[in-house]
Amino acid sequence: MHLVIIGAGEFQKPIIEKANEMGYETHVFAWESGATGKSVAHHFYPISVTEKELILEACKKIKPIGIVTGASDLTNITVQFIAERLGLIGNSRSCIEKTTNKFIMRNALRKAGIRTPEYICVSQGDEIEGKLKSFKFPLIIKPTDRSGSRGVCRVNSISDVEKAVQIALLHSFEKRIIIEDFIEGNEYSCETISYRGKHHLLAVTEKYTTGFPNYIETGHIQPAGLSFELEHRIKETVFSALDALEVENGAAHTELKVNGEGIMIIESGSRMGGDCIGTHLVPLSTGIDYTKLVINVACGIEPVIPENMKGKSAGIRFIFDKNDYDRLALIKREFPHRLGYVYETEETIRKITESGERKGFYIVIDRERMDVAKILAMEQRD
C-alpha cells in the first residue's frame, strides 16, 4: 500500500517513520534542503511542496491509498489539492482556505458567533492610521497567510505600527496582514482528531512564549493542568470552531487564550500542531499514537479513542541561546533519565525572530506536571 507524505523536515520525519512502521510504502515530496526525513523514506522526490501540479502527476502514477502531512499550513494546502483530485480522504477547499488564511478564518468564526479578537485586514499600500481609531493599544500585527510566528509583532503605540506592518507584509505571500487586539491571558492549544465531522479532543497544551514583541514559542507542557469544568468549556468552544471552519477529517491544532472574560480562539489549523506537540507530546501525555490516527484517517480508517487516556507529563523547551544550551547540559548531568528526546544544531549567536530559527529542542518526561515545568524552568511572560 502506497502512502504519500508532503514534507520531510525534522518535524515531519516521525510521520514517515510511523508510516513505515505501519507497513506503508512511503513516497515523500519535499525540498531537498533540510529534508532530514529523506533518509527514512522509501521513495523521495525532490519537488517543492508548492508544486502541486507536478506532485499530482507523480501521484497519479503512485496511486496512493492516502496522503498526509504534519504541521505545515503550506503542505496542508497541497495535501488538500491532491486528495480532492484523486478522491482521497481529506478536507474541502473551503476548509483549507479558512484554516490557512487568518482573515478568512476570523470572518468564519465571527459569523458563527465564536469569540475572536477584534481585527481588520490591510493590504499593501492601504492607509492604516485612520482604520485604527477604534482600536486600543497594544495590538498584534501578523501576515494573513503564514505560521510559525513569521512576521508576528506586538505594537504598543501608533509610532510602532509602520515598521511592524512592513515586516508582516514582507512575510505574507498575498501581501495582506491582520491587525488585531492583543488578548491578555494564559495561552493553550487543543490537539484534536476528526473523522467525517466527528471531533475528538486528545490533549490540551499549555504554551510558553518569549513574550513581547514577537511571541515566539519557547516551550509547551502537557497536560495543561486545567480544571475539569474549564477543559470541558474549552472543548465545546473548540469543537464549535472546527465546525465553523468545516474541519471534517484529520488533525487540528487550535490556539486559544483564557482570561477573566472567558475563552478566545486565536487561530486554528486543520493539521497537527508543530513543535513536536502532535508527534511527541500527545503520545507521551495520553498514551495515544496521534500520528497513527492521522495516517489512519487519511486512509479511511475511523480512529478509535480509548475512554481512559493514560500517560505521563511531558514538556518541550526550545533552544534559543547559551542559557538554553547550559540548561540542557545541566539536565543531561542531573536528570538524564528524564530526557525523552534531544535535537540540537550547532551553537551560534544570533537573534531569533521566528520559530524556524530556533537551534533545537529537548523533551522532558516525568509523572508530575509541576516536575516537568521545574526541570524545564518554564515561566509565563507577558
Domain spanning 118-181, CATH architecture: 2-Layer Sandwich (3.30)
Cβ atoms of 66 and 5 within 8 Å: the answer is no
pLDDT of residue 359: 87
pLDDT of residue 349: 58
pLDDT of residue 48: 96
Question: Does domain 2-88 bear CATH number 3.40.50.20?
Answer: yes
What count of other Cβ atoms lies within 10 Å of the Cβ of residue 17? 16
Sheet holding 139-143, edge to edge: 119-123, 176-181, 139-143, 153-155
- At 369 the three-state DSSP class reads helix
139's CB contacts (< 8 A; 6+ apart) are 132, 154, 155, 161, 179, 180, 181, 182
Residue 61: burial class (beta carbons within 10 Å; 0-12, 13-18, 19+)? exposed
Determine phi and psi for 71, rounding to 5 degrees. -115, 30
> Alpha-carbon distance 224 to 228, whole Å?
11
Sheet holding 43-45, edge to edge: 43-45, 25-29, 2-6, 66-69
pLDDT of residue 4: 98
Sheet holding 250-259, edge to edge: 262-269, 250-259, 186-195, 198-209, 217-222, 313-318, 360-366, 339-344
CATH 3.30.1490.20 range(s) for the chain read: 118-181
Q: Supply the DSSP symbol for 183.
A: P
pLDDT of residue 357: 83
pLDDT of residue 273: 93
48's CB contacts (< 8 A; 6+ apart) are 31
> Alpha-carbon distance 203 to 284, whole Å?
11
Cα 308 to its chain centre, rounded Å, is 25
pLDDT of residue 347: 64
> Alpha-carbon distance 197 to 193, whole Å?
10
CATH 3.30.470.20 range(s) for the chain read: 186-376
Quote the cell numbers at residue 108.
468564519
Beta-bridge partners for 364: 315, 339
CATH 3.40.50.20 range(s) for the chain read: 2-88
pLDDT of residue 271: 97
- Residues of the chain below pLDDT 50: 382
pLDDT of residue 316: 97
Q: Indicate the fold that domain 186-376 takes in CATH.
A: D-amino Acid Aminotransferase; Chain A, domain 1 (3.30.470)
Cβ atoms of 310 and 110 within 8 Å: the answer is no
Cβ atoms of 292 and 68 within 8 Å: the answer is no
Q: Supply the DSSP symbol for 306.
A: -
pLDDT of residue 269: 97
